[in-house]
Structure 1
Amino acid sequence: MTVQVGDRIPEVVLKCIRQGVENVDTRTLFDGRKVVLFAVPGAFTPTCSEKHLPGYIRHFEDFRARGIDVVCMAVNDPFVMQAWGRPLNVPDGLQLVSDGNADLTRALGMEMDASGYGMGIRARRFALYAEDGVVRHLFVEAPGEFRVSSAEHVLAALD
């Protein structure tokens, strides 16, 4: 079942790279905080690299000014996420997290089968806004689209 507004973010352990590969659980990411989590189908893919993540990089300070943390997630390994962030100059504080086994993606009901493209199970393109671990806004893209999960759309919706 797909996550809905009012649902609590499922408890899952993700990966990131700080001082090596580290576990980061969703309670730590979301509890007691305002967070925008946006998911991309894959690091280094065209729309994700040219539009989705760059929009959140451009507007990162706009989110921070509102007291909102920003987290980008993909069903890629943490090394790929780190390598993807470097050339895009991801600012400190914008977290890139790996859902390598699609655990959170599946728990949210946001998986898609991209096997036809040789990519296996991936996250659908979406964004959500959560306060203290509870989903307050949900922005899920139709297949092949990029509109409602953009940084600009999410910021406007949070006004």
Structure 2
Amino acid sequence: MTIAIGEKLPSATFKEKTADGPVEISTDALFAGKKVVLFAVPGAFTPTCTLNHLPGYLDNRDALLAKGVDDIAVVAVNDWHVMGAWAQQTGGMDKIHFLADWDGAFTKAMGLDADLSAGGLGVRSKRYAMLVEDGVVKSLDIEESPGQATVSGADAMLERL
């Protein structure tokens, strides 16, 4: 069952690459007492994710923060090495959180997993964006097609805010 607006995020621990190596970051540490934009991609380095979805959030980071957002994070069912390399290559390191849901536990607990085996990707995340306040989902927009980033894009999030 897909998480719904008004529900608390499931408890999870992600890995994130830092200058000192990988660190673990819990949902409590990331979301407690904060207003956070969380968006998910089917995979780091995939075309729509790299060329469309992520750049919108990087380009609009300051505008989102100016609207009262405390933090921005992207999550994918990838390992922290891949997420860290993606952060570095795209210029996103230290601008937003690049969260590795390496085993898909968080994604599955939210009911937002997608079997993309037909495309050679295995089980990944659906593409979505949500606004989370103090760990509670305030808005959730899921893309109908993983190859699009419209309702889950930064422009749509800015309009919601």
What runs of 5+ residues in structure 1 fail to find an aligned partner? none
Does the 8 Å CA contact 1:57/1:91 hold for their aligned counterparts? no
User: Are residues 1:25 and 2:26 paired?
Assistant: yes
What is the aligned partner in structure 1 of residue 104 from structure 2? Answer: 102
> Alignment partner of 2:81: what SS?
helix
Matched, 1:156 2:159: yes
Q: Offset of 1:93 from its aligned partner?
A: 3.6
Task: Map residues 42-121 of structure 1 onto 2, 5 A cutoff.
Answer: 42-68=43-69, 69-90=71-92, 92-121=94-123
TM-score (norm 1): 0.96
- Structure-1 residue corresponding to 2:134: 132
Deviations 1:129-158 (A, max 9, x none): 011000001111002432100000011011
CA displacement, residues 58-110 of structure 1 (integer Å, 9 cap, x when unaligned): 00001111231100000000110111111211152411000010011001100
For structure 2, the residue ranges without an aligned partner over 5 or more in a row are none
Cα shift readout 1:5-37 (whole Å, capped 9, x = no counterpart): 000011011110122111111111111000000
Q: TM-score, structure 2 length as denominator?
A: 0.95
The structure 1 segments of at least 4 consecutive aligned residues displaced by more than 6 Å after TM superposition are none
In the alignment, residue 125 of structure 1 is paired with which amino acid? R
Distance 1:20 1:59 in 2: 27
In the alignment of these two chains, the number of paired residues is 158
Percent of counterpart pairs with the same letter?
42
